[in-house]
Amino acid sequence: MSDSFARPHELPRWLRPLGVFTLLAFVAAQAIAVLISPADRDMGHLQKIMYVHVPSAWSAFLAFGIVFLASVLYLWKRKPEYDLFAAAGAEVGTVLTVLMIAQGSIWGRPTWGVWWTWDPRLTTSAILLLIFAGYLALRAFTEEEERRARWSAAVGILGFINVPIVYMSVRWWRTIHQPQSTVETVYNTYLLGFFLNLAVFTLLTFYFTIYRYQVAQLERAAEAKAEQAALSGGGAYV
């Protein structure tokens, strides 16, 4: 297969330095958060999982917000770019949700004595994960592009409705999960690391979403070129 056929155009050059900067910022934020914060009085060093758990949750919600916005724009404008951007956001958000639930379980085992309990926050988070896992499965098993984009947009919009439910679950129902972390509920000694990681995870979310979108563009361009070659009788490139 020729290189020109496999890669009809390159990824933007600015993606690589952005990725390097994002990685370095992530390592620095984690190091600062862990090194400058003392052990919590009640939870000890287990408290430091907050530096990845809360930012993972926030970033997952952000990614699903991207899915919602891009899906609305697709149904309005019918441009395939919006569909690809929604799909990229869904992939990133699903991975972050898995991380969020896994981190919560790691924290919950020594704190609550169980890896999992059907607490409203955990239950609604699991439902959110299932919705967007279904979204990705729908895209994988629907071949016709326009139909796949329309159905995915509908699922993405409806699935996003669960995001505020997850967020508000600790306030709407009786739950053992602690309320949302805010400036008022986090000690000053932990605030710097907390906000640094929120910022870095936000950057990670945008980077991976943009990267996955660019890769999807390459994949679609390659598929279009292959289809054009097949229709023109040009055969396969070797």
* Residue 235 dihedral angles phi and psi, to the nearest 5°: 80, -175
Q: Percent of the chain having pLDDT more than 70?
A: 89
Please check the confidence at residue 163 and state whether its pLDDT lies above 90.
yes
Tell me the CATH class for 15-35+48-227. Answer: mainly alpha
- pLDDT at residue 160 is higher than 80: yes
At residue 75 the predicted structure's pLDDT band, cuts being 50, 70 and 90, is very high
The full set of domain ranges for the chain reads 15-35+48-227
Regarding predicted confidence, which is higher, 158 or 41?
Answer: 158
Binned at pLDDT 50, 70 and 90, residue 40 comes out as confident
Beta carbons within 10 angstroms of residue 84's beta carbon = 21
| Mean pLDDT to the nearest integer, 96-124 | 91
When pLDDT is averaged across residues 113-123 and rounded to a whole number, the result is: 91
- Separation of alpha carbons 43 and 176, rounded Å: 16
Measuring CA to CA, how many Å separate 110 from each of 44, 46, 148, 194, 233?
Answer: 11, 9, 43, 22, 64
Question: 33 with 51: CB under 8 angstroms?
Answer: yes
Contact 158, 75 (CB under 8 A): no
Question: Per-residue pLDDT for 209 more than 80?
Answer: yes
As given in the structure block, the two tokens for residue 20 are 């390097």
pLDDT, position 187: 64
First CA to last CA distance, the chain: 4
Cα distance between residue 92 and residue 124, in whole Å: 19
User: Residue 158's pLDDT band (boundaries 50, 70, 90)?
Assistant: very high
DSSP one-letter string for 105-132: HHHHHHHHSSS----HHHHHHHHHHHHH
Q: Which phi and psi (to 5°) does residue 44 adopt? A: 65, -145
pLDDT tens digit string along 168-207? 998 888 888 777 666 566 667 778 888 999 999 999 999 9
Assign 92 to helix, strand or coil.
helix
Task: Look at residue 6 in the predicted model and tell me its pLDDT.
Answer: 38
Instruction: Kindly give, in sequence order, each residue whose CB lies less than 8 Å from that of residue 21, ignoring residues fewer than 6 positions away.
Output: none
pLDDT at residue 234 in the model: 55
| Overall average pLDDT of the 116-131 stretch | 94
Q: What is the pTM of this model?
A: 0.87
Which among 12-16, 85-89, 183-187, 224-228 has the top mean pLDDT? 85-89
How deeply is 143 buried, as exposed, middle or buried, from its count of CB atoms within 10 A (0-12, 13-18, 19+)?
Answer: exposed
User: Residue 35 in contact with residue 62, Cβ under 8 Å?
Assistant: no
Q: Position 103: which residue type? A: Q
